[in-house]
């Protein structure tokens, strides 16, 4: 049986200082369980000490999550509850079905040069707690996102950990870059602008905002957009950061995605006119009713034009 360590009662709040330790800033309604049970050490030692596995889960989902076996994510991802796999950048994510509910199990994986020899072990744990905290803040602020249900940490030796994140599955959505050329592209980009503005209004700075972590769909209720990956996102106090920097990062992703879509699909959707339609739809969604903010954003983009132009040229030469 696990040892129940603590039920954190602090509400998520916008602050200029990210959560630096395991016992501060976790959102309301989450519990921490330790496997195997231990009779010594407080919650901080349990999270940062040696050996075992730590599970942080949403209290209202606790019974179902434990019955499904969330405390052993590797076994869960290889078991009979898996109904398929979702492409998730560096790796695939297991799609889990249990008692009529569908979840997505993501294992954290490194990219880049470091990921070639160490793809799954991490020595800095704060990123996992930050993602959990930001996801809960986004949900509380009515930002359309996938509900986070559990975070699992497992000791991997030499002070490192492996980590998994379990979220609710959102049916019918596609990454935003797959919506290029779609008849409802403009509507979905408009919805994406709205959800990104709501994220910024909640005080969330997403320094790695790109097309891959925004998904969209169109159904009988209209267009929908969701932010589904909060890695590298942080809570900020007003006046301490510039949301336009996130938009610059997203614009670079749009430019790259357009060229890739044009190359892969053989369509003319990488033309300046097509890009302009997408940008106008997003801008209308993001800056609706805020012309002064739009003027400031345009001035910011003009100052960054040289950097953006150089990056765009680089992507074009790689085609």
Each residue's pLDDT tens digit, 197-218: 999 999 999 999 998 899 999 9
Query: Which two tokens mark 167?
Result: 């979220």
Claim to verify: residue 32 and residue 152 sit in the same structural domain? yes
- For residue 9, the model assigns a pLDDT of 36
- For residue 169, the model assigns a pLDDT of 97
CA angle 20, 125, 161 (to 5 degrees): 160
- For residue 267, the model assigns a pLDDT of 52
Cα–Cα nearest to 234, from 17, 11, 10, 7? 17
Claim to verify: residue 216 and residue 158 sit in the same structural domain? no
- For residue 259, the model assigns a pLDDT of 64
Q: Which letter does DSSP use for residue 227 in this model?
A: E
Q: Which letter does DSSP use for residue 214 in this model?
A: E
Claim to verify: residue 209 and residue 130 sit in the same structural domain? no
Claim to verify: residue 147 and residue 179 sit in the same structural domain? no
CA separation, residue 248 to residues 95, 206, 305 (Å): 32, 11, 10
CATH number at residue 210: 1.10.510.10
Helices then strands, each counted (H, E), the chain: 9, 13
Lowest mean pLDDT segment, chosen from 40-44, 126-130, 250-254: 40-44
* 119 has a pLDDT exceeding 90: no
- Give the residue, 35 or 135, on which the prediction is more confident: 135
Claim to verify: residue 180 and residue 137 sit in the same structural domain? no
* 73 has a pLDDT exceeding 90: yes
Burial 140-173 (b: 16+ CB within 10 A, else e): ebebbbbbbbbbbbbeeeeeebbbbbbbebbeeb
Report the pLDDT averaged over residues 62-66. 96
Between CA 185 and CA 270 the distance in angstroms is: 14
Three-state DSSP state, 95: strand
Per-residue pLDDT band for 156 (boundaries 50, 70, 90) equals confident
Claim to verify: residue 202 and residue 272 sit in the same structural domain? yes
Cα–Cα nearest to 72, from 97, 55, 86? 55
* 58 has a pLDDT exceeding 70: yes
- For residue 309, the model assigns a pLDDT of 62
Please answer whether residues 159 and 177 qualify as being in contact, where contact means their C-beta atoms are separated by less than 8 angstroms: no
Three-state DSSP state, 150: strand
- For residue 160, the model assigns a pLDDT of 87
- For residue 77, the model assigns a pLDDT of 95
* 316 has a pLDDT exceeding 60: no
Widest Cα–Cα separation across the chain: 65
Each residue's pLDDT tens digit, 265-292: 555 454 556 667 778 899 999 999 999 9
Claim to verify: residue 139 and residue 244 sit in the same structural domain? no
Claim to verify: residue 151 and residue 12 sit in the same structural domain? yes
Lowest mean pLDDT segment, chosen from 29-33, 154-158, 175-179, 263-267: 263-267
Per-residue pLDDT band for 71 (boundaries 50, 70, 90) equals very high
Report the pLDDT averaged over residues 162-177. 93
Q: Which domain, by its residues, includes 32?
A: 3-168
Claim to verify: residue 110 and residue 185 sit in the same structural domain? no
Tally of structural domains, the chain: 2
Claim to verify: residue 64 and residue 148 sit in the same structural domain? yes
Claim to verify: residue 163 and residue 26 sit in the same structural domain? yes
- Give the residue, 316 or 70, on which the prediction is more confident: 70
Out of 143, 168, 193, pick the residue that ends a domain.
Answer: 168
Q: What residues does 102 pair with on adjacent strands?
A: 97
Each residue's pLDDT tens digit, 6-54: 333 333 333 333 333 333 457 889 999 987 754 444 443 445 444 588 9
Mean per-residue pLDDT of the chain: 80
CA separation, residue 318 to residues 23, 126, 256, 260, 307 (Å): 46, 36, 10, 10, 17
Burial 205-229 (b: 16+ CB within 10 A, else e): bbeebbbbbbbbbbeeeebbbbbbb
User: To the nearest whole percent, how much of the chain has pLDDT over 90?
Assistant: 50
Each residue's pLDDT tens digit, 213-232: 999 999 999 999 999 999 88
Sign of the torsion angle spanned by Cα atoms 107, 113, 116, 121: negative
Out of 137, 168, 199, pick the residue that ends a domain.
Answer: 168
Per-residue pLDDT band for 254 (boundaries 50, 70, 90) equals confident
Claim to verify: residue 161 and residue 201 sit in the same structural domain? no
* 177 has a pLDDT exceeding 50: yes
Out of 151, 168, 185, pick the residue that ends a domain.
Answer: 168
């Amino acid at each position: 049986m696990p040892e129940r360590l603590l039920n954190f009662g602090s509400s998520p709040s916008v602050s200029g200082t990210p959560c630096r330790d395991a016992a501060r800033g976790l959102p309301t309604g989450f519990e921490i369980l330790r496997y195997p049970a231990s009779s010594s050490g407080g919650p901080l030692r349990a999270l940062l000490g040696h050996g075992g596995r730590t599970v942080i889960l949403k209290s209202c989902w606790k019974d179902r999550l434990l019955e499904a076996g969330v405390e052993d994510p590797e076994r869960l991802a290889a078991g009979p509850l898996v109904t398929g796999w979702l492409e998730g950048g560096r790796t695939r994510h297991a799609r889990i079905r249990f008692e009529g509910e569908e979840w997505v199990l993501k294992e954290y994986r490194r990219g880049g040069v470091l990921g070639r020899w160490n793809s799954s072990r991490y020595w800095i744990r704060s990123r996992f707690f930050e993602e959990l905290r930001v996801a809960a803040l986004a949900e509380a602020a009515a930002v359309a996102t996938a509900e986070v249900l559990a975070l699992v940490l497992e000791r991997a030796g030499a002070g490192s950990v492996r980590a998994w994140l379990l979220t609710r599955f959102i049916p019918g959505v596609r990454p935003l870059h797959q919506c290029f050329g779609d008849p409802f592209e403009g509507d979905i980009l408009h919805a994406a602008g709205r959800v990104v503005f709501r994220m910024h209004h909640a005080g969330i700075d997403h320094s790695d905002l790109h097309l891959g972590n925004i998904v969209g769909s169109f159904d009988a209720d209209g267009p929908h957009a969701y932010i589904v990956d909060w890695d590298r996102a942080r809570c900020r106090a007003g006046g301490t950061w510039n949301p336009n920097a996130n938009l610059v990062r997203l614009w670079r992703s749009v430019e790259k995605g357009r060229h890739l879509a044009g190359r892969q699909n053989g369509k003319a959707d990488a033309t300046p006119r097509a890009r302009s339609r997408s940008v106008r739809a997003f801008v209308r969604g993001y800056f609706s009713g805020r012309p002064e903010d739009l003027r400031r954003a345009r001035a910011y983009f003009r100052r960054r034009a040289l950097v953006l132009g150089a990056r765009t040229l680089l992507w074009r030469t790689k085609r």
